Structure 1
Amino acid sequence: MTDKPILGAALTIEGIARHRDWLLEKPRDLEIQDLHKAEVLDGDWRPLAERLRALLDGHTGRVGLHGPFWGFKIDSHDPEIRTVVRRRLLQGLEACAAVGATQMVVHSPYSTWDHHNLDAFPGAREQLLERAQMTLRDVVARAEDMGCELVIENIEDKDPRDRIALAASFNSPAVQVSLDTGHAHYAHVSTGAPPVDFHVHLAGDALRHVHLQDTDGHADRHWKPGDGTIRWASLFDALSRLDSRPRLILELRDAARLRQGAAHLEALGLAE
């Protein structure tokens, strides 16, 4: 990226309505966060999708969707659970098609326990990959068909290379890497994981999506940038070296503070 990157946001329909003028003033990327809960996906969500599309009339940024994640992991040992997970993620892709999303966020299965224990059991690391591939095989095929990208977000991950290898194992342009800055900084401070900018360097152009949120490193705060202790200059310096143009998505617990968070990064001269 040669120019300052343009910030986007992760919002529900209420937040989109509130910040619509900000979203439309530049080609800001958007991540829709209304269509990931089981009760929504099993209900009549089509009218909501229609309202979202109407609200986004005139929007020129890229649209993504946070996929289903509550209550499951993509590497379940139980084949019946994998069937449920597969169905949920296919429902997520159906919602992507309805709202015009070209990217869907999927949660990484890796935990701190995995980091310290996988290599204690011969074959366990490879078996985790196989289970995730069995879960996602049909999902990836569907994503490829519809031109949608699945991006795997770090949650409890300690070593970013695990998630990067998982994405690469599908050998598909439809499976790439996501970074949540707050999750990474929590893991750095509390579990000894690498700092946030290392995640960018290690992923390289496989990084296609970033959740921007600040934290103190003790918990998953989702504070606006500037309220925690993330070193934003080093993160954006790492991002500037990529050609992949990852979507830079402010994901805040309090959507009312979205523009304050954006203003902080703008004042640092890092983004617009």
Structure 2
Amino acid sequence: MSTLPLLGAAMTVAELEGLQDFILSRDRDLELQDFCELGALDADWKPAAERAKALLQGYKGRLGIHGPFWGFTIASGDVEIQKVVTRRMRQGLEICDFLGATQMVIHSPYLTWDYNNLDNHPGRKAYQNFLDYTHATLDPVIAYAEKIGVTMVVENIMDKDPDIRRILVEDFNTKALAVSIDTGHAHYAHGSTGAPPVDYFVRRAGNSLQHIHLQDADGYADRHWNIGEGNISWAAVFRALGELTSNPRLILELRNKSGILPSVDWLKARGLAE
């Protein structure tokens, strides 16, 4: 039997209809992305969730969702905004509970601006503010996440510092919060803002890393290209992943879902994953 890491994928329930065999044949990790769309949490999300459950009958893989993120940060200093974001996080976790999902992707609060300006204040006050505001937002839902066995994974968006999300996660000291990496976002930060390369993001996350969005890019924009179409050093990325024992979910998050199978073939041909 192959010892190569097994790839999963991100998609909507409608897209799962055409990729059901790909996911079920080997119980690949799956991330459903219907529930982060604008308006999804205020509409009736149960029909999509019920359809997913029907399509996934007999599935023994690891199921997750992409949580809400549009228009807010998990580290707002505004108490009223914190309440809104806490409610959105709770809604996402309720969907996880309904589906039996065990992971929910949420977005990092850190911007490139912060990298250049957090030290532009006495002491560590600006850093601590981020931690305090994130606690104020997420603490009310952490106990619920722990109860239902869901880990919220914090994905890099504009993060230039590869350590800062791990530090935030460690401050919570709970299995309900872990690190996520998006390879295209990290490569954008490397190419456009001078951040380290993608494999450094992996190593600096260490075993706090439990989820990774795999997409190829050019270092200029958030491309979500098929693997092999950009210029990320995939051999270096998978070497770094091979040093971990946390077994992160390897989720192909491609703009064109028809690229999922070719991306798997590309990585398999190079002995990196399957």
What TM-score comes out, normalization by structure 1 length? 0.98
Q: Which piece of structure 1 moves more, 258-267 or 32-41? A: 32-41
What's the counterpart of residue 128 of structure 2?
Answer: 126
Quote the Cα distance in structure 1 between the aligned partners of 2:7 and 2:239: 15
Give CA deviations for 1:153-212 in whole Å, capped at 9, x if unaligned. Answer: 000000011111011110111111000000000100111101111111111111000000
Number of aligned residues: 271
Query: 1:196 matched to which residue of 2?
Result: 198
C-alpha separation between the residues in 2 aligned to 1:261 and 1:204? 25
Contact 1:13-1:34 at 8 Å conserved across structures = yes
Letter in 2 for 1:223: W
Q: CA RMSD in A?
A: 1.0
Shift of 1:27: 2.2
Local SS of the residue matching 1:241: coil
User: Percent identical across equivalent pairs?
Assistant: 55
User: Residue 181 of structure 2: which of 175, 179, 182 is its match?
Assistant: 179
Any idea what SS the aligned residue of 1:105 has?
strand
SS at match of 1:71: coil
8 Å Cα contact 1:6-1:27 kept in structure 2: no
Work out the CA distance in 2 between the residues paired with 1:263 and 1:50. Answer: 31
CA shift for structure 1 position 60 = 2.2
Secondary structure, counterpart of 2:83 in structure 1: helix
The residue that corresponds to 2:218 in the other structure is: 216
1:222-260 alpha-carbon deviations (Å, 9 max, x no partner): 001100000000110111111110000000011121111
- State the partner residue of 1:138: 140
> How many angstroms apart in 1 are the aligned matches of 2:15 and 2:235?
27
Report the counterpart of residue 115 of structure 2 in structure 1. Answer: 115
Q: Match for 2:212: what amino acid? A: V
The residue number in structure 2 matching 1:13 is: 13
CA distance in 1, matches of 2:215, 2:141: 28
Looking at structure 2, the residues matched to 77 and 174 of structure 1 have their Cα atoms a distance apart, in angstroms, of 22
Aligned-partner Cα distance in 1 for 2:29–2:7: 7
Extract structure 1 runs of 4+ deviating beyond 3 A: none
Q: Greater CA deviation, 88-97 or 37-46?
A: 37-46
1:264 to 250, 263, 266: 266
Following superposition of structure 1 onto structure 2, how do residues 1-272 of structure 1 map, counting pairs within 5 Å? 3-122=3-122, 123-272=125-274
The superposition leaves residues 28-80 of structure 1 with CA deviations (integer Å, 9 ceiling, x where unpaired) of 00000011235111111112111110011132210001000001011112110
Q: State the SS of the aligned residue for 1:19.
A: helix
Segments of structure 2 that go 5 or more residues without pairing to the other structure are none
Give per-residue Cα distances to partners, 1:115-167, cap 9 Å, x unaligned: 00011023111111100110000121211111110110000000011111011
Q: Secondary structure at the match of 1:136?
A: helix
Q: Contact 1:144 / 1:174 at 8 angstroms: preserved in 2?
A: yes
The amino acid of 1:264's aligned partner reads: W
CA contact (8 A) 1:77 1:131 kept: yes
Deviations 1:99-127 (A, max 9, x none): 11000001000010000001102311111
The answer on whether the counterparts of 1:38 and 1:88 sit within 8 Å (CA) in structure 2 is: no
Write the distance in 2 (CA, Å) between the matches of 1:51 and 1:151: 25
Contact kept? 1:208, 1:245, Cα under 8 Å: yes
Rounded to whole Å, the distance in 2 between the matches of 1:59 and 1:146 is 19
Distance in 1, matches of 2:157 and 2:211, equals 14
Q: Secondary structure at the match of 2:210?
A: strand
Q: What is the TM-score of this pair, normalised by structure 2? A: 0.97
